[in-house]
Amino acid sequence: MPAQPPTIAAAAAPADPTLAPAAFVDSDHPAVRAFAAAHAKGADTRERVASLFLAVRDGFRYDPYRADLTPHGMRASTVLEVGHGWCVTKAALLAAACRSLGIPARLGFADVRNHLATERLRQLMQTDLFIWHGYTDIFIGSRWLKATPAFNIELCERFGLLPLEFDGTADSIYHPYDRAGQRHMEYVHQRGTFDDVPLARIQADFAALYPGWGHVPADAAGGAKPAAAPADAADFDADVRAETAAAAATAAAARRSGRPT
């Protein structure tokens, strides 16, 4: 039975690091502060955080092909600079935006088994186990709540996923099944919460588990940097469009022939 994320529990007031700027959760960066000020709409903390969640989820496309494990690539402010991110950096941006407004936030990590990915990503990773999946842990009222802003709504629609919502009253984590009832995501190991991105640990674990990954710095593995990943020159959105279109065509052909899909 796969481990599931823990249920919501009451918590004591958070420690100062959940409000302070950090190396990667760089909440003092002018671009982060401006982003938070522009997108935190609402009458109270819950509404402002929900508004920020949507701004991060849908304002920056999810692109795992260009996950950059250098210090610059892992900063929250870099998502604003480049216009895309992946689960860890988008979670860092949401945390940084919250902190810039005086809302306590930190990062949570888990290992998940992802049953939906492009063929190129499966070949790159050689596994469906995604380690160090990131989400944001936000202190609202008297509770820590999980928010996962990784998948933008356009990507969800193409993949047939249920987009994650966050209203500031309950956890927002990956649905275990897609719209068609197919297995989507399983949480298999919780790594806990962190005040900043534990980059050295992520680099070392990625270098060990994903030797074909092209953006792990040389010192992470103690040797030469791996060759550029096959995804470096690829377009994640284009791959998703091509694969979902092919799947739809196959399903349509099966329906016409009377075969089960």
48 inside domain: yes
Rama region for 42: left / alpha / beta (φ>0; ψ in -120 to 50; rest) = left
Residue 5: inside a domain, yes or no? no
Closest listed residue to residue 145, CA positions, set 3, 8, 6? 8
Domain count for the chain? 1
Residue 257, pLDDT above cutoff 90: no
Cβ neighbours around 107 below 10 Å, total: 26
What percent of the chain stands above pLDDT 70? 77
In this prediction, residue 133 has a pLDDT band, given cuts at 50, 70 and 90, of very high
- The yes-or-no verdict on residue 7 having pLDDT over 50 is no
- pLDDT, position 155: 87
In a domain, 115, yes or no: yes
Question: Is residue 192 a part of any domain in this protein?
Answer: yes
Average pLDDT across the chain, whole number: 83
pLDDT on residue 180: 73
What burial letters (b/e) apply to 144-155, b meaning 16+ CB within 10 Å? Answer: bbbbbbbbbeeb
| Inside any domain, residue 3 | no
Report pLDDT digits (tens) over 150-163.
Answer: 999 998 888 788 88
Whether the predicted pLDDT of 2 surpasses 80: no
Say if 110 falls within a structural domain: yes
Q: What is the pLDDT of residue 182?
A: 74
pLDDT recorded at residue 36: 98
* Poorest-pLDDT segment among 8-12, 23-27, 135-139: 8-12
Q: Taking 90 as the threshold, does the pLDDT of residue 102 lie above it? A: yes
Does a structural domain hold residue 261?
A: no
Beta bridge partners of 85: 62
Q: Please give the pLDDT value at position 253.
A: 60
Structure-token match 């995804």, residue found: 231
**pLDDT tens for residues 205-253?**
999 998 876 555 544 444 334 333 445 557 877 787 777 665 555 555 6
Q: What integer pLDDT is reported at residue 238 of this predicted model?
A: 78
> Does 7 map to a domain?
no
Can you give the residue range of the structural domain that contains 211? 16-254
At 28-87, the pLDDT tens digits run: 999 999 999 999 999 999 999 999 999 999 999 999 888 999 999 999 999 999 999 999
Query: Is 141 or 230 the better-scoring residue by pLDDT?
Result: 141
- In this prediction the pTM is 0.82
